[in-house]
C-alpha cells in the first residue's frame, strides 16, 4: 500500500503531528520508535551525530537524557542549537526538528531517573561517557564498586546526569512516494508561536 501525506491531514502544531506519527510507529514492528539522531556542533564547528531516545514529548519541547559531561552535552553547552531526525522504515516516514536546547530542572531529572531500571541507574554512575577507558575490565570494576556502594536502598540521580529539552523552531515531515516524488512539509515558527506550513519539493 502506498501512503501519502496531504496538507489537510497535518496538525497545525508539529509537536502534535509528531505524537500522531509516534503512535503509528509504536503500533508497527519498529523495535525502537523513539530513537532519534541528534546532531550537534563542537567548538571548532565540526558536526557530530549519535542516536538518543526521546523520553518526553510536550508542548514545551522534546526531552532526552544523558551524561552532562559527555561530548554531546559539552557541545550543547557551547552551542545550544541542534537538529533531530526520526526514521521509521516500517511506515516509510521521517521527521526532523531544529531548535535550541536547555537543561531541564534537577527535580525533573531526578523524577525520571527514579523510574529507570536499577541496572540503568548503575550504568549512569559507572560510565564516564565519552572519556577513554583502558579496557572492559576497568569498566566492569567500576560497575562492581557502584553496585557495592548502593547495595542497599535507592540509587540517587548522579549530579552529572540529566535531561535536555529541545524547543523546536522548525520541523519537517516526510512520506515516501513512488518515483522519488515524496511528500514533504516544513513547519516554521512565526511570532506568537504560530506555525507556517509549506509543501517542499522532495
Asked about 177 being catalytic, the answer comes back as no
129-143 pLDDT, tens per residue?
888 999 999 999 999
Q: What does the domain layout of the chain look like in residue ranges?
A: 7-114+159-199, 115-156
Q: Which among 46, 136, 180, 196 is annotated as catalytic?
A: 180
Q: Does domain 7-114+159-199 have CATH number 1.10.10.60?
A: no
Q: Which residues of 4-31 are buried (b: 16+ CB within 10 A; e: fewer)?
A: ebeeeebeebbbebbeebbeebeeeebe
Q: What is the pLDDT tens value at each position of the chain, 202 positions in all?
A: 568 999 999 999 999 999 999 999 999 888 999 999 999 999 999 999 999 999 999 989 999 999 999 999 999 999 999 999 999 999 999 999 999 999 999 999 999 999 999 999 999 999 988 889 999 999 999 999 999 999 988 999 999 999 999 999 999 999 999 999 999 999 999 998 899 999 999 9
Its pTM stands at: 0.92
Using CA atoms, how far apart are residues 13 and 143, in angstroms rounded to an integer? 43
Amino acid at each position: 500500500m502506498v501512503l501519502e501525506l496531504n496538507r489537510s491531514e497535518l496538525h497545525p502544531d508539529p509537536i502534535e503531528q509528531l505524537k500522531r506519527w509516534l503512535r503509528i510507529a509504536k503500533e508497527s514492528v519498529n523495535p525502537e520508535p523513539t530513537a532519534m539522531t541528534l546532531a550537534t556542533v563542537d567548538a571548532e564547528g565540526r558536526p557530530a551525530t549519535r542516536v538518543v531516545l526521546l523520553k518526553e514529548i510536550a508542548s514545551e519541547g522534546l526531552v532526552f537524557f544523558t551524561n552532562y559531561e559527555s561530548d554531546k552535552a559539552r557541545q550543547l553547552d557551547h552551542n545550544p542549537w541542534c537538529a533531530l531526525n526520526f526514521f521509521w522504515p516500517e511506515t516509510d516516514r521521517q521527521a526532523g526538528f531544529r531548535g535550541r536546547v536547555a537543561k531541564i530542572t534537577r527535580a525533573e531529572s531526578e523524577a525520571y531517573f527514579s523510574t529507570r531500571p536499577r541496572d540503568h541507574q548503575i550504568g549512569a554512575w559507572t560510565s564516564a561517557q565519552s572519556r577513554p577507558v583502558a579496557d572492559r575490565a576497568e569498566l566492569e570494576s567500576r560497575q562492581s564498586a557502584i553496585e557495592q556502594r548502593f547495595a542497599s536502598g535507592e540509587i540517587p540521580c548522579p549530579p552529572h546526569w540529566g535531561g535536555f529539552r529541545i524547543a523546536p523552531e522548525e520541523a519537517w515531515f516526510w512520506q515516501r512516494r513512488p518515483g522519488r516524488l515524496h511528500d514533504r512539509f516544513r513547519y516554521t515558527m512565526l511570532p506568537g508561536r504560530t506555525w507556517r506550513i509549506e509543501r517542499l519539493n522532495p
